[in-house]
Homo-oligomer: A and B are copies of this chain.
Amino acid sequence: MEKDEYRQQIRTELDRVVDFWLKHSHDTEYGGFFTCIGRDGKVYDELKYVWLQGRQVWMYCRLYRTMERFRRPEILEAAKAGGAFLRNGGSGGDSWKCAFCLTRDGKAVKVQRTIFSECFYVLALDELSRVTGDVDMQAEAEQMLQQLVHWVRVDPSGLGRLRLPGDVPTSSMAVPMMLLCLVQQLMEGRGQEAEQRHGELGAWCVQQILQHVQRGGKAVLENVSAEGAELPGCQGRLQNPGHALEAGWFLLQYAAQRGDGELQRTAVDTFMELPYQQGWDQEHGGLFYFLDVDGHCPTQLEWSMKLWWPHCEALISFLMAYRRTGNPLLLHRFAQIFQYTFSHFSDAEHGEWFGYLTREGKVALDFKGGPFKGFFHVPRCLHMCELILDELLAGEGR
């Protein structure tokens, strides 16, 4: 397939995905978004998951701000209503801690002892402030980031986790990845002043992510010790190829902004090609969800399932890497993953994508939205791939 054909298919798919969520997810009574949405668009649970509220606000605003055809009042209004819902109900009490899950009318149901609800809160507020010009909102996003940094780098006790004698402090790759994502968000287009404010944190995140490269560069491991050493047992051996691939394009973007050729090579070789080689299922196609670096069976029941989001991250990674390097092998990888992804996850009948396939590629869970799947990975992937293809085609004079 040619690049303009990819672009056309991706553009059409993005339109269908946006339509699906515009049509089915808005709660016009209480604000915010329904996140549990069945195959055909019907809401099967009214709980509102906070990660997904924040992500949908961010994604609507980003589409509104960066793609002409989505600069539509209904998208902006929905994003504003989502932002208001999040600010009213997102926090479980008087602290900075946000809930993980809310009732339809915004009462906290569950709070996680992690930082991720708060991270998506920052993402939402900053991007929304960019389209509305609300400076208070932007300031709140900056303040929340400082709170997050305090929890991660100074004192985690506010997260509510017990310190137990056998519980060694560990570094989960998700934390520096998430913070790097926020740094990139807050710095985008804001020049030297933002670089001064967040530059050190960005560099720290990159260094922390690189600590997960283990075994002489032959493996990316999800969990390492606080000092960056391999941990014993299943936790230490855990690999999540889709997550490594996502870190890959975070690092590549960071390297490109700074013209850091060495980091670019590490991003492509170690965070893209390596997880692809280790994570691609040679028998049935698709990326495994979890693997054990020594080949033991992971204890996660879903380890061999094929999830939508690792495939989204892989598409972004390989297309961005091709755009940066011009290496045709990377376009070939993109094409292979595109073929699997579009033929297995996309629902031709009702629109949007299935999220969860069996190892063999059969739909195992047929809903379009659930506790961890919302309006985020699919549209972010399609949005970014469309923009990268625009650049590539512009460079070729098309």
Pairwise interchain contact B111-A162, C-beta atoms closer than 8 A: yes
Pairwise interchain contact A38-B165, C-beta atoms closer than 8 A: no
- Taking CB atoms, residues of chain B closer than 8 Å to A39 are 297
A36 within 8 A of B: yes
The SS class assigned to the A binding surface is loop
- Taking CB atoms, residues of chain B closer than 8 Å to A252 are none
Bound-state CA distance A297–B45 (Å) is 11
A204 within 8 A of B: no
- Specify the chain B residue showing the minimal Cβ separation from A46: B233
- Taking CB atoms, residues of chain B closer than 8 Å to A36 are 233-234, 299
For chain A, residues 312 to 347, give those with C-beta under 8 angstroms from any C-beta of chain B.
Answer: none
Pairwise interchain contact B356-A108, C-beta atoms closer than 8 A: no
Pairwise interchain contact A301-B301, C-beta atoms closer than 8 A: yes
Query: Would A108 and B359 be within 8 Å (CB), given that A44-B296, A367-B297 are in contact?
Result: no
Query: Would A301 and B299 be within 8 Å (CB), given that A46-B232, A233-B47 are in contact?
Result: no
A138 within 8 A of B: no
- Taking CB atoms, residues of chain B closer than 8 Å to A305 are 301
Query: Would A299 and B367 be within 8 Å (CB), given that A233-B45, A234-B36 are in contact?
Result: yes
- Specify the chain B residue showing the minimal Cβ separation from A369: B299
Chain A interface residue number, banded: 35 or more
Interface string of A371-396 (1 = CB under 8 A from B): 10000000000000000000000000
Query: Would A164 and B109 be within 8 Å (CB), given that A233-B47, A302-B301 are in contact?
Result: yes
A92 within 8 A of B: yes
- Taking CB atoms, residues of chain B closer than 8 Å to A364 are 301, 304, 359
Pairwise interchain contact B234-A111, C-beta atoms closer than 8 A: no
Minimum distance in angstroms from A365 CB to a CB of chain B: 5
Minimum distance in angstroms from A192 CB to a CB of chain B: 43
- Taking CB atoms, residues of chain B closer than 8 Å to A234 are 36, 44-45, 47
- Top 3 A-B residue pairs of the complex, sorted by shortest distance between their CB atoms: A107-B166, A103-B166, A45-B233
Q: List 5 A-B contacts (CB under 8 A).
A: A36-B233, A44-B296, A109-B164, A301-B356, A358-B359
**Which residues from chain A sit less than 8 Å from chain B, CB to CB?**
36, 38-39, 44-47, 92, 99, 101-103, 106-111, 160, 162, 164-167, 232-234, 296-299, 301-305, 356, 358-359, 364-367, 370-371
